[in-house]
Amino acid sequence: MKKLLFLAVFALASAVMYAGGYRVSLQGNKSLAMGHTGVAVVNSAELMFHNPAGLVYLENKLNISVGGFGVLSNIAFQNEMTGATERTDSGVGTPFYAYVSYQATDWLSLGLGVYTPYGSGVTYEDDWAGSHLINNIDLAAIYVQGSAAFKINEFLSVSGGFIYVTGSVNFNRNLSRSLADLEGNRSEVTIDASGVSNTGWTVSAMFNVSEKFRLGATYRSLIRLEADEATATFDNIPNSPGTPFADTNASAELPLPAEMTVGLSYEFCDKWLFAFDLNTTFWGVYESLDIDFENPAIPDSFNARNYKNSINARFGLQYEASDKFTLRGGYYYDQSPVQAGYFAPETPRNDSNNYTAGLSFKVNERLDIDASFLYVHSIEVDASYDYYFESGVAAPFAGTYKTNAFVPGLGVTYKL
């Protein structure tokens, strides 16, 4: 059982990257409704996330965008050996965002953004078939981003800024497939960490080919989160001599990968806008996870992850239906970075098709109400996790996974 615990701390890494076992990008209602495009779209302070360089092209001096989402998701699992099925009780996550931009001069705009791109959880039934890998996980993460945008001329603008990330995670799993106390209660461990934080940076550019055609690019740096004060709490441990499972602290380092997004937007037929983004996330940096336990009786753990870089294509359309209503729709394909043999139930991260829609209602010249809806349909996958060891013997965990999510959103845009 020496290597069992690394999976519990590994969930700290997984949860930060995957909200509720999948990744859903929720950084604005206008952009999400258009297939999560926005790197070359100038329409609100949501540019703070997608491309801060575009802030200098907003018409108003002050721009504010605030909103949130309700995430309803589930994961269905079927054991390929027994045919037994399990389904998560993932509940409702409520990520939010708040952006503000200010045009300081004709050539300088400043912006600040606060958003929670990862903030849901997964709960399986107690003692399910994969309880030695996960019972439940809950995540809260907050991102703070500040940027300054500079207009070089009427065609070109650039931006640079900082990113601060802070988060917490709580994760529970059984220690093995059979270990229990004298009353038959399964032995388990809970990993809890809070205040995990670090900083990074972002740069972007926007080029106006013409009044109707724009190009954009944004790069976010690699950020390493170091959990130095995580706690490991053990319950229902057999009272036997030599057991190493005593409450202790643990530390781990997680690389959050860099990403690059390029895209374009084109206005046509007066009322239509088409947008396309191509996102590359450099997951290849996540090669392994090393865990240090403060209790010397629990050996440190090492595990290779060998993720691959992923490329995601995003498409969006916007239609000015009237003076009051703007309609939007979109689609994006989300490619999983998980390779064969590394598919764990706390991160059942298979490729997905994502369909979006939404609208804005213009209350007056200063205020818009924005609504969006996202449906995530992950492609059914037969997969296994081959790196669980019990008594030194590999015990792969395999099955069929189906995941989906429904994400309604509501926000406001204010201009002054």
Domain ranges of the chain: 5-415
pLDDT (average), residues 30-59: 96
Q: Is residue 1's pLDDT more than 60?
A: no
Q: Is residue 211's pLDDT more than 60?
A: yes
- CATH fold group of domain 5-415: Porin (2.40.160)
What pLDDT was estimated at residue 301? Answer: 62
What pLDDT was estimated at residue 235? Answer: 86
Q: Which amino acid is at 269?
A: C
How far apart are alpha carbons 373 and 412 in whole angstroms?
15
What pLDDT was estimated at residue 66? Answer: 97
3-class SS of residue 306: coil
What pLDDT was estimated at residue 108? Answer: 97
More confident residue, 402 or 18: 402
The highest-confidence range among 179-183, 240-244, 354-358, by mean pLDDT, is: 354-358
CB atoms within 10 A of CB 124: 25
Q: Which amino acid is at 333?
A: Y
**By C-alpha distance, which of 7, 10, 5, 4 is closest to 254?**
10
pLDDT (average), residues 192-219: 94
Q: Is residue 8's pLDDT more than 80?
A: no
User: In the structure encoding, which two tokens stand for residue 366, read together?
Assistant: 């200063």
Question: Taking all residues of the chain, what is their mean pLDDT, rounded to a whole number?
Answer: 84
What pLDDT was estimated at residue 136? Answer: 80
- Side-chain-facing half-sphere of 12: CA atoms under 13 Å: 33
What pLDDT was estimated at residue 60? Answer: 95
| Lowest-confidence region among 117-121, 199-203, 316-320, 406-410 | 117-121
In the chain, % of residues over pLDDT 70: 86
More confident residue, 102 or 386: 102
pLDDT in tens, 163-201: 999 877 778 888 788 888 888 889 888 878 888 899 999
pLDDT in tens, 57-108: 999 999 999 999 888 777 777 776 666 676 665 555 668 899 999 999 999 9
Q: Which amino acid is at 315?
A: F
What pLDDT was estimated at residue 123? Answer: 78
How far apart are alpha carbons 409 and 58 in whole angstroms?
23
What pLDDT was estimated at residue 348? Answer: 61
pTM for this one? 0.87
What pLDDT was estimated at residue 9? Answer: 34
Q: Is residue 373's pLDDT more than 90?
A: yes
**Residue written as token pair 């336990």:** 293
Q: Is residue 14's pLDDT more than 70?
A: no
| Lowest-confidence region among 38-47, 292-301, 366-375 | 292-301
More confident residue, 150 or 395: 150
What pLDDT was estimated at residue 40? Answer: 98
Q: Is residue 332's pLDDT more than 70?
A: yes
| Lowest-confidence region among 58-62, 137-141, 182-186, 218-222 | 137-141
pLDDT band at 358 (very low <50, low <70, confident <90, very high): very high
